[in-house]
Structure formats: C-alpha cells, structure tokens
Amino acid sequence: MKMSYFPGCTLKNKAKDLDEYARKSAEVLGITLEEIENWQCCGGVFTTSKDEIATKLSSVRALMDAKSKEQPLVSVCSACHNVIKQTNHAMRNDSEFADKVNRYMSENEPYNGETEVLHYLEMLRDKVGFDSLKEKVVNPLKGKKIGAYYGCLLLRPNSVMAMDDPENPTIMEELIKAIGATPVVYGMRNECCGGYVSVESPELAKKKSDAVVANAKAQGADMIITACPLCRYNLIKNGADIPVVYFTELLAQALGVKEAENE
C-alpha cells in the first residue's frame, strides 16, 4: 500500500531518527511512504484565527498533492500533523476560508478537504492494525516500562484531531503493548510540557516538563516515548533523568530494522 508522506522540517534535520525509523518500519508493515515532492514547512503552529490564509497554504498544497494521487497523507511529527489536520478541517468546514484559498490557488478543481489525514500512529492502528503489527515483531521489548507522552498537539482540539479520547488516550499504550513492553499510565501524559515557551519563559517550561517526568517516574516508567520533537527537546533539556525517545525508534527496534541499519 502506498501513502503520501509529509516529513516536515524537523524530521529532515534534528529529528532524522524519527523519519528514518518511521519509513523503515512502515516498509516492514507493508506500507510505502512516498514523500510529497517539494513540500514546504507547515509552520509548526496552526493559527486558529480565521483571517490567516497565507500561513496555511503550504499544508493545502501537500493535501492537494495527496488528493491527486488518491492517497492518505501521513505525518509523524505531532506539530505537522496538527497543522495539516486543522487546515484540512478548515478547508472542509469553513467555506469562506476555503473559497479564499481556492481562488488564490486557482487550480482547475477546488480543494474541499477530501484528503484523509493520518498521524503515523493512526496509520498503525487503523490501516495496519496493532494485532498484525504484533505478528511482525521480532525483538519484543520485554520488561521495559514505558510512559507514553502525548502532550497537546496529538489530541487537541479533539473536535478536529479526533485521534483518541483526549482525556484518556490509549493509542500509544496499545503500541507499547504490541511491541512487547509494558505501558505505564500517568496523569500528566496529556498535559503541556511548555515547549513553546522554552525560549520565552524557560522557568515555566522547566516547571512544566519537570512535572511530566516526575509523574511518569512516580508511576514506574523507566522510559518516555513521544511523537513530538519539541516535547522531546524540552524534556531532555530540562534534565529528564530517564530516556525520552521517539516512538518510531522503539518500533524500529522491535521490528528488527534498527540494528540492520547500524551494521
């Protein structure tokens, strides 16, 4: 199965691991991720204001590209996914916005949010299935107690993102189980780490990320996984004393494609 893929700027630079492991693991699971040609940065934040048009065009271009290939559009970075999904929702539901965008793009066929937008985790759950994933695991991560860190971007606003129960998500815990490890559920997993203000208010960012790590540890986690490069950066920078890794790294390890690449 082929799907369109939007890596985003962080996965092409600081988070190369997130990208590589995601592609290789997808191959093992029977999905080829085809990178959108000439994709442009999503901008990192979806501006909710209705009079912001230009900042959303890069997402629209990627969505149109996927539509032309009749493929779903997959991304791995929480921020890219959030921006693209919210833009798609606006194209589908905000006719004034969509009209302005379509006039500007002046393509033959208007775009009205037809593309299916998937986070990689949703691709695993809904297209591959965690049961089939489990069958492909060659190196189960037995004995690891892993706290999934969702943060904000994957889940909110739920009226648009609709990935999971925003207050009691399970998608990453299911993944952790499928790769043979034990999920650790902790209250702070869907609270904000303060990543956006790590420059503006470093003390606030530290306070928030300390609270996340402390809570995960108190519930017994010896590792945290995330899909967000900024969360990972912020948690590590503020002194997390357990490893904080991308979920794709563990997935690649369990599927046996991580070692292969290091040889």
Partner 1 sequence: MNKKDLLREEIIRRSGVNPKKCMKCGKCSGTCPAYEEMEFHPHQFASMIDSGDIEPLIASESVYKCLSCFACVERCPRGVEPAKLIEAVRLSVIREKGANRMTANDVPAMVDEETPQQLLVSAFRKYTK
What is the binding site for partner 1 (CB under 8 A)?
8-10, 13-15, 41, 43-45, 47-52, 55, 77, 79, 152, 155-158, 166-167, 191-192, 194-201, 204, 208, 228-230, 232-233, 236-237
Query: 31: helix, coil or strand?
Result: coil
Cα 105 from chain centroid? 27
Q: For 110, list phi and psi in degrees, rounded to 5.
A: -70, 155
> Which residue matches tokens 């948690």?
235
User: Residue 224 forms beta bridges with which residues?
Assistant: 147, 244
For partner 1, the closer of residues 38 and 49 by Cβ is 49
Ordered alpha helix ranges (H), 186-239: 202-218, 229-237
Q: Output the smallest distance, CB 160 to partner 1, in A.
A: 10
Amino acid at 127: K
Q: From residue 50, how far is each of 54, 140, 202 by CA, in Å? A: 11, 47, 30
Q: Output the smallest distance, CB 138 to partner 1, in A.
A: 31
Q: Output the smallest distance, CB 111 to partner 1, in A.
A: 21
For partner 1, the closer of residues 37 and 51 by Cβ is 51
Strands (DSSP E) along 19-157, which ranges? 32-35, 73-75, 117-119, 145-148
For partner 1, the closer of residues 124 and 155 by Cβ is 155
Q: Output the smallest distance, CB 79 to partner 1, in A.
A: 5
For partner 1, the closer of residues 132 and 201 by Cβ is 201
> In the structure, how many helices (H) and strands (E) does the chain have?
12, 8
End-to-end CA distance of the chain: 28
For partner 1, the closer of residues 13 and 32 by Cβ is 13
For partner 1, the closer of residues 28 and 90 by Cβ is 90
Q: Output the smallest distance, CB 37 to partner 1, in A.
A: 20
Q: How far apart are CA 84 and CA 64, in angstroms?
A: 11
Helix 95-105, helix 78-93: angle, nearest 10: 100
For partner 1, the closer of residues 2 and 14 by Cβ is 14
